[in-house]
């Protein structure tokens, strides 16, 4: 862009027309003497006429050269008319030759007017042409009111009207200014400049364009309402440029990550020493800068009220600072959604050859991923730091600092800080403020912990450090509550029970709870929240599986389950616990004597516990111990079968090393079954022993059947009739309770 300015300075050579003025001003009254031979009169009004003459400074002409003419006519009012004048003058080491059809000079030589094919030819190749030109000695201004054209080497141009201020050395092209710089060795691909007016202040080293300027230079287009170009001391290169009003710079074929378009109300541009390489740009007033995407498609755009940019040697952005209503927009590409970042300010940085690779957004940050027209992932924070890929500007990682908040549909996440690893869809939440730890909430679960790693797809969560969570009831129309009320609904326990009874080689159900539904374990109420704590949580929303580790504890109302690990499967409704399991819950049971419904607190312990919702069965293993409606029972394994849809026991099964204490009876054996409906016990083993404490009576057999509310006992299938005898004190044969 600099070389056209170098050529543009030659436009000032039009001032050579001034030489014409100076020449004609030097013509005086009474110049020369009439020839002795008769001369044909050109104008009868002329008082004198001469032909084929020359005027020089020696003859009184105030010019640095000579004037040749075909005819000179003098008039009674003191004015002079020259026919076919030719002025030859030297100025600043150059020779100028100016010709026209005629020139007129008034008697006081205050101005001169030239008409008809006014042409200027300079020794350095400059040529200019117009139809009329005039010069005022008092103002020192040359004026050409009509069309003006000029050329010199690769430079050419036209305008309508021109002025040249001799005193200030300022040239103006008044209207429809057009300047062309042809391609060449020193001009590259050339340039074209158009403007309403164009001015060149040679002494002050600047050019000015007004009323809509357009500059096209080597695939780059600059437009604005007005522009001022500042030149180097030797006028050969562009130093800086100011654009004012509706300013734009467009690169037609940019490389990926290169400058594609800049726009703002005003721009200040600074160029490198070569006068062509843009080094710095300051944009103000609704400013924006757009980098190119792959294949020349529109890439990322950065907008703000003010944008300050440094460019590398190949046009890449190396520093970018923006403020006031800042917005970074990265357009959608293939499977990558559109991303928009808004903030009060932005600080961007990069390296030569790479462009922007990092940015920091400050105050009121909003990050938005538009995943679908009606689906957006939105994050807010005080500060945001992003890492971007060289060239494409795709964001690899975003670090949110201070009051971080994420929204993705029904999902909400919050923390002091959050690191979003975009390619993985992973959000790492850390830091606590005002006593609040990182938190994630969706329709199904609320999790608080010291740290939460959230994967949006699923969603999936890994939470560590004092995990607190709340599982919310399924509020969907076809949820577990509706299924319990109407077993015909998809996902009812009867359907899951049927699925569980299928042979092992049968194709499993895709989702036992039904698509989008969740099943609360049947030993819990499905219309109340469930609280769970632990040292860590691994939650997969896609499979509805939550695994708590490290001193885990679950509670809901009167129900509590503790263990080193607790696993909740909301797809099947199963619940597992392991590692010193202890559970406490309340079961309802009919009182055989009063016939009233009563609540029986129950406590169960074991190394593991597994509740299978399809079977309504809770199994405790390894040193199992259950104290509930069936009595106080020990065994290697104990199974509790609950009544479908009720908080009551259907039956209990105990295996291996069974010991039962029920009221005033102690029974031991290898196997026990308790039927809650009639409070009947069936025990087997080799042998089975029952001790009736009050009578201090021991009964032994291979199988024993007895009832809790009566004294009836069946031994090996035969009923035993006993006479009740009471003894005072304690039965000395009572076994020690282990």
**Residue 602 lies in domain:** 473-662
Predicted TM-score of the model (pTM):
0.77
Query: Is the separation of the CB atoms in 546 and 554 below 8 Å?
Result: no
Q: Confidence band (pLDDT; 50, 70, 90) for 31?
A: very low
Asked if residue 541 belongs to a domain, the reply is yes
pLDDT at residue 519 in the model: 78
Q: Which of 388-402, 413-427, 473-487 has the highest mean pLDDT?
A: 413-427
pLDDT at residue 389 in the model: 83
- 284 forms beta bridges with 266, 306
Q: Residue 736: pLDDT above 60?
A: no
Asked if residue 520 belongs to a domain, the reply is yes
Q: ω before 453 within 30° of 0 (cis)?
A: no
Distance of CA 528 to the CA centre of its chain: 39
pLDDT at residue 32 in the model: 44
Query: Is the separation of the CB atoms in 620 and 655 below 8 Å?
Result: no
pLDDT at residue 20 in the model: 39
Asked if residue 163 belongs to a domain, the reply is no
pLDDT at residue 537 in the model: 97
Query: Is the separation of the CB atoms in 232 and 206 below 8 Å?
Result: no
- For the segment 323-349, the average pLDDT, to the nearest whole number, is 92
pLDDT at residue 726 in the model: 37
pLDDT digits 0-9 by tens, 219-242? 789 999 999 999 888 777 789 999
**209: nearest Cα among 219, 199, 201, 217:** 199
Q: Confidence band (pLDDT; 50, 70, 90) for 462?
A: very high
Q: Residue 650: pLDDT above 70?
A: yes
More confident residue, 618 or 726: 618
Instruction: Average the pLDDT over each of 32-36, 93-97, 730-734 and give the range with the smallest value.
Output: 32-36
pLDDT digits 0-9 by tens, 722-735? 433 334 445 654 44
- DSSP label at 476? S
Asked if residue 633 belongs to a domain, the reply is yes
The CATH code of the domain that includes 644 is 2.60.450.10
pLDDT at residue 19 in the model: 37
Reading the block at residue 525, the tokens are 């109420």
- Structure-derived torsion over alpha carbons of residues 622, 623, 629, 632, reported in degrees to the nearest 10: 160
- For the segment 335-358, the average pLDDT, to the nearest whole number, is 89
**96: nearest Cα among 74, 136, 127:** 127
Asked if residue 622 belongs to a domain, the reply is yes
Asked if residue 613 belongs to a domain, the reply is yes
Asked if residue 361 belongs to a domain, the reply is no
pLDDT digits 0-9 by tens, 129-162? 999 988 776 776 778 999 999 887 777 889 999 8
pLDDT digits 0-9 by tens, 365-397? 999 998 888 889 999 999 999 998 877 778 889
pLDDT at residue 616 in the model: 92
More confident residue, 472 or 581: 581
pLDDT at residue 315 in the model: 77
- DSSP label at 527? T
Separation of alpha carbons 570 and 609, rounded Å? 16
pLDDT over 70, % of the chain: 82
pLDDT at residue 186 in the model: 57
pLDDT at residue 306 in the model: 96
Asked if residue 641 belongs to a domain, the reply is yes
Instruction: Average the pLDDT over each of 197-206, 247-256, 494-503, 677-686 and give the range with the smallest value.
Output: 494-503
pLDDT at residue 491 in the model: 46
pLDDT at residue 520 in the model: 82
Residue carrying the six token digits 């755009």: 301
More confident residue, 218 or 635: 635
Q: Residue 64: pLDDT above 60?
A: no
Mean pLDDT computed over every residue of the chain = 82
More confident residue, 630 or 361: 361
Separation of alpha carbons 452 and 437, rounded Å? 9
Separation of alpha carbons 738 and 736, rounded Å? 6
Based on the structure, what is the number of domains in the chain?
Answer: 1
Separation of alpha carbons 203 and 414, rounded Å? 64
């Amino acid at each position: 862009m600099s070389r056209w300015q170098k050529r543009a300075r030659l436009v000032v050579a039009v001032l050579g027309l001034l030489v014409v003025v100076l020449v004609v001003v030097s013509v005086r009254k009474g110049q020369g003497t009439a020839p002795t031979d008769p001369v044909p009169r050109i104008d009868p009004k002329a008082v004198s006429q001469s032909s084929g003459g020359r005027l020089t400074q020696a003859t009184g002409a105030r010019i640095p050269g000579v004037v040749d003419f075909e005819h000179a006519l003098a008039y009674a009012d003191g004015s002079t008319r020259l026919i076919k004048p030719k002025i030859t003058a030297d100025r600043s080491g150059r020779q100028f030759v100016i010709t026209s059809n005629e020139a007129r000079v008034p008697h006081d030589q205050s101005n001169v007017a030239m008409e008809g094919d006014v042409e200027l030819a300079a020794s350095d190749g400059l040529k200019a042409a117009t139809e009329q030109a005039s010069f005022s000695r008092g103002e020192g201004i040359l004026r050409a009111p009509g069309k003006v054209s000029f050329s010199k080497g690769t430079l050419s141009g036209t305008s309508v009207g021109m002025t040249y201020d001799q005193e200030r050395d300022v040239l103006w092209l008044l209207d429809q200014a057009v300047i062309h710089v042809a391609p060449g060795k020193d001009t590259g691909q050339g340039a074209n400049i158009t403007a309403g007016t164009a001015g060149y202040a040679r002494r002050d080293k600047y050019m000015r364009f007004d009323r809509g300027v357009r500059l096209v230079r080597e695939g780059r287009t600059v437009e604005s309402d007005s522009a001022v170009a500042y030149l180097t001391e030797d006028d050969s290169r562009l130093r800086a440029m100011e654009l004012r009003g509706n300013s734009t710079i467009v690169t037609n074929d940019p490389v990926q990550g290169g400058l594609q378009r800049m726009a703002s109300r005003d721009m200040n541009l600074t160029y490198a020493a070569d006068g062509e390489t843009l080094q710095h740009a300051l944009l103000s007033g609704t400013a924006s800068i757009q980098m190119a995407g792959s294949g020349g498609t529109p890439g990322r755009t950065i907008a703000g009220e003010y944008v300050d940019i440094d460019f590398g040697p190949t046009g890449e952005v190396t520093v970018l600072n923006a403020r006031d209503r800042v917005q970074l927009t990265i357009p959608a590409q293939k499977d990558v959604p559109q991303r928009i970042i808004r903030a009060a300010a932005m600080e961007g940085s990069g390296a030569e050859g790479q462009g922007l690779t990092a940015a920091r957004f400050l105050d009121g940050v909003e990050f938005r991923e538009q995943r679908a027209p009606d689906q957006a992932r939105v994050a807010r924070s005080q500060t945001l730091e992003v890492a971007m890929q060289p060239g494409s500007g795709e964001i690899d990682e975003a670090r949110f600092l201070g009051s971080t908040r994420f929204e993705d549909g029904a999902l909400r996440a919050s923390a002091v800080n959050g690191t979003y690893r975009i390619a993985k869809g992973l959000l790492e939440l850390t830091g606590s403020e005002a006593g609040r730890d990182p938190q994630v909430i969706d329709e199904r679960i609320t999790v608080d912990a010291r740290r939460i790693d959230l994967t949006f797809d699923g969603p999936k969560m890994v939470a560590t450090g004092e995990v607190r969570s709340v599982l919310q009831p399924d509020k969907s129309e076809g949820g577990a509550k509706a299924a319990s009320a109407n077993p015909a609904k998809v996902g009812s326990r009867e359907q899951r029970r049927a699925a569980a009874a299928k042979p092992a080689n049968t194709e499993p159900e895709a989702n036992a709870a039904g698509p989008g539904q969740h099943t609360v374990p049947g030993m819990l109420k499905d219309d109340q929240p469930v609280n769970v704590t632990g040292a860590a949580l691994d939650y997969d929303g896609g499979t509805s599986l939550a695994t708590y580790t490290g001193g885990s504890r679950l509670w809901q109302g009167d129900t509590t389950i503790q263990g080193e690990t607790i696993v909740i499967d909301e797809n099947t409704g199963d619940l597992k616990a392991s590692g010193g399991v202890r559970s406490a819950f309340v079961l309802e049971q009919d009182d055989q004597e009063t016939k009233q419904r009563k609540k029986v607190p129950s406590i169960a312990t074991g190394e593991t516990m597994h509740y299978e919702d399809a079977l309504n069965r809770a199994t405790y293993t390894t040193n199992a111990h259950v104290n509930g409606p069936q009595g106080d029972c020990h065994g290697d394994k104990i199974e509790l079968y609950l009544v479908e849809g009720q908080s009551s026991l259907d039956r209990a099964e105990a295996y291996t090393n069974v010991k039962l204490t029920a009221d005033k009876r102690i029974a031991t054996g290898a196997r026990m079954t308790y039927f809650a409906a009639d409070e009947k016990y069936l025990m087997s083993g080799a042998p089975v022993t029952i001790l009736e404490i009050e009578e201090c009576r021991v009964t032994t057999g291979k199988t024993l059947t007895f009832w809790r509310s009566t004294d009836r006992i069946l031994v090996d299938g035969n009923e035993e009739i006993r006479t009740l005898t009471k003894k005072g004190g304690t039965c000395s044969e009572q076994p020690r309770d282990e």
